[in-house]
Structure 1
Amino acid sequence: MARLLQAVVLGLLVGGVYALVAAGMNLIFGVMRVINLAQGGMLILSAYLTYTLWNATGLDPLLLVLITTPCLLVVGWATYYVFIERSRTTDPSMALVTTFGLTLVTKGVIALIWGNEPHSVTPGYANRSFSVLGLTFPQAQVYACLVAAVVLAGLYLLLRRTWLGRSIQATAGSAEGARLIGIEVRGVWAASFAIGVAAAGAGGSLLSVLYPFMPSSADHWIGLMLAIVVLGGMGSLPGSVLGALVIALAESLTSDYVSPDWAGAVPYLAIILVLVARPQGLLGTRLREDTSRP
């Protein structure tokens, strides 16, 4: 029983960070119907920025979320206006191709600046843990999960309690309807994309403390984000949280009871099972085929 509880604890702690990592991608899809394949590259870019700032200043890498998040917000905003806006108005499928190209470019730029060797951020508490009732709580995972919860709570309040958040929700429901009530939809799309990339900025700082990373790590994380989004329901932020917790728990239990080598297959197995059994995901809604797209 203690072994099972330990695996559950570790899964829940990592799942909180996974939820933040996937939230940005799900927000962008929910508002714009664009699968942002560049999100993995943005995540790793944030991890490298955290590594550089941590080396230069000695600041706690989790506090560097306060720097990487606004930096990636600006990157996301510029990326939308320079690349995404034109491609999605030309042909909806072109936005997918554009984001795929952007992640290749991002990985190339990262490799050019920082090289292809693995990097990691190791603050003093990286190898420390708490012991409570015979269970081990790694400090890095605990702190990262708490920061992720705070950022997710801030994102929730932004979407529920602000004019921008209400505009985002209205545009997600119907872009044409939003225009009719005076919402500047173009600006909302840009803000949604920027906020989604900013969430990757926060997530990259947290992941830099938990896992080694290199430019090609973007491929792993985009696969994991897609699995979480598909499992939880595309366009559903609560679904992102639920999907992240389920996948993290499955990874932890598989690693502990089967083999760590099989844990990496869990997200892809989740995608297959969900697409077969419930294509709209756990908390997603089935879209009508005749529903008009923005």
Structure 2
Amino acid sequence: MILLVQTVVLGLLAGGVYALMSSGFTLVFGVMKVLNLAHTSTIVLAAFLTWWVWQRTGLDPLLAGVLVGPVMYGFGWLLYRGVVARVQRIDHELTLVASFGVATALGGVMALVWGTDAKAATPSYFNSSFHLGELVVPTAQLYACGGAVVLLLGLYGLLRGTFVGRAIRACSADRDSAALVGIDVERTMARMFAIGVATTGFAGAALSVLYQFVPDSHYVWIGRVLCVVILGGLGSFAGAALGAAILGVSEALTSSYVDTRWATTVPYLLIVALLLVRPQGLLGGRGRADGALA
């Protein structure tokens, strides 16, 4: 019984980080109806920036991730203004291709700057754990998940309780109507996209502590992020959180009770089986117009 509880706890801790990694992706899709394939590249970029700060200053990498967040916000704003907005004026569907191009370019730049060797940030608590009776909770996973949950709650509060959030929700529902009531749609879109990229700051910090990474790691993580948002329902914020928890727990259960080699396979098979029954995802029943808010 203790093994089952231990496995579920570890899966939920991983799921918290998966949820943060996916939140910006599903926010962008919920408002813009665009699959931003560069999202996980920005997560890896944030991981490299966090690792670099940790190497140079010794600052705790998870705290460094909080500082990297505003940097990623600025990068997201420039990415939207310089690439996404320009491409959308030509053809909305080209944004998918453009984002893939950005992901490939970022991978090349990161390889030139930091090399292709695997990196990882190892703070002092990297190998420590909390003990609750027979239950062992790894400190790094707990801190990463705790920070992810705080940021997710903050993002939810931003969307629900601020003018910027209300403007984003209005644009998600109907951009023309939002413009008629005085909302600067283009500015709101830029802010929204930048906020989505800003979430990768702490997500990248968590990645740098919990996993080894290389410039091409985004190819691995885009699969997990897509699984989370498709499982929960494309564009559903709450669905992303639920999908992340399910993915994290299913991976942990597969590793413990089946084989670690199947850990990244069985969850995807489960997702395919679910989508055969409910193709819109677990929380994707409502229209996509309110996807960023669900």
1:30 aligns with 2:30: yes
Output the CA distance in 1 between the equivalents of 2:153 and 2:287: 27
Output the CA distance in 1 between the equivalents of 2:111 and 2:273: 35
Output the CA distance in 2 between the equivalents of 1:225 and 1:270: 15
For 1:268-287, list aligned pairs within 5 A: 268-285=268-285, 287=287
- Aligned with 2:62: secondary structure? coil
For 1:3-152, list aligned pairs within 5 A: 3-152=3-152
- Aligned with 2:36: secondary structure? coil
TM-aligned CA deviation for residue 274 of structure 1: 3.7
Output the CA distance in 2 between the equivalents of 1:47 and 1:169: 30
Percent identity (aligned) = 48
Q: Please report the TM-score for the alignment, with normalisation by the length of structure 2.
A: 0.95
Distance change (3 Å), C-alpha of 1:225 and 1:255: same
- Residue deviations 1:207-251, cap 9 Å, x none? 110000001111111111011000111111111100000000000
Distance change (3 Å), C-alpha of 1:112 and 1:203: same
Instruction: Return 173-182 or 29-38, whichever deviates more.
Output: 173-182
The one-letter amino acid paired with 2:223 is: G
Kindly report structure 1 stretches of 4+ aligned residues shifted beyond 4 Å: none
- Aligned with 1:131: secondary structure? strand
- Aligned with 1:216: secondary structure? helix
Equivalenced residue count is 288
The one-letter amino acid paired with 1:282 is: L
1:250 aligns with 2:245: no
The one-letter amino acid paired with 2:212 is: P
Task: Indicate the residue corresponding to 2:259 in structure 1.
Answer: 259
The one-letter amino acid paired with 1:152 is: L
Output the CA distance in 2 between the equivalents of 1:59 and 1:42: 21
Instruction: Return 58-67 or 75-84, whichever deviates more.
Output: 58-67
TM-aligned CA deviation for residue 53 of structure 1: 0.1
Output the CA distance in 2 between the equivalents of 1:270 and 1:191: 36
Instruction: Return 47-56 or 81-90, whichever deviates more.
Output: 81-90
Q: What runs of 5+ residues in structure 2 fail to find an aligned partner?
A: 289-294
The one-letter amino acid paired with 2:231 is: L
Q: Residues 46 and 65 of structure 2 are in contact (CA less than 8 Å); yes or no, is this contact kept in structure 1?
A: no
Q: Residues 129 and 136 of structure 1 are in contact (CA less than 8 Å); yes or no, is this contact kept in structure 2?
A: yes
* Alignment RMSD (CA, Å): 1.2
Task: Indicate the residue corresponding to 2:291 in structure 1.
Answer: none
Output the CA distance in 1 between the equivalents of 2:14 and 2:211: 11
Output the CA distance in 2 between the equivalents of 1:286 and 1:149: 25
Output the CA distance in 2 between the equivalents of 1:270 and 1:200: 27
- Residue deviations 1:176-218, cap 9 Å, x none? 2211211111111111110111111220011110000001111
Output the CA distance in 2 between the equivalents of 1:113 and 1:208: 17
- Residue deviations 1:55-101, cap 9 Å, x none? 11111111112211000000000000100011122212200000000
The one-letter amino acid paired with 1:141 is: Q
Task: Indicate the residue corresponding to 1:291 in structure 2.
Answer: none
Output the CA distance in 1 between the equivalents of 2:267 and 2:121: 25
Output the CA distance in 2 between the equivalents of 1:271 and 1:77: 33
Output the CA distance in 2 between the equivalents of 1:33 and 1:7: 36
Q: Residues 66 and 201 of structure 2 are in contact (CA less than 8 Å); yes or no, is this contact kept in structure 1?
A: no
- Aligned with 2:35: secondary structure? coil
Q: What runs of 5+ residues in structure 1 fail to find an aligned partner?
A: 289-294
Output the CA distance in 1 between the equivalents of 2:238 and 2:133: 31
Task: Indicate the residue corresponding to 1:292 in structure 2.
Answer: none
Q: Residues 233 and 284 of structure 2 are in contact (CA less than 8 Å); yes or no, is this contact kept in structure 1?
A: yes
- Aligned with 1:35: secondary structure? coil
Task: Indicate the residue corresponding to 1:237 in structure 2.
Answer: 237
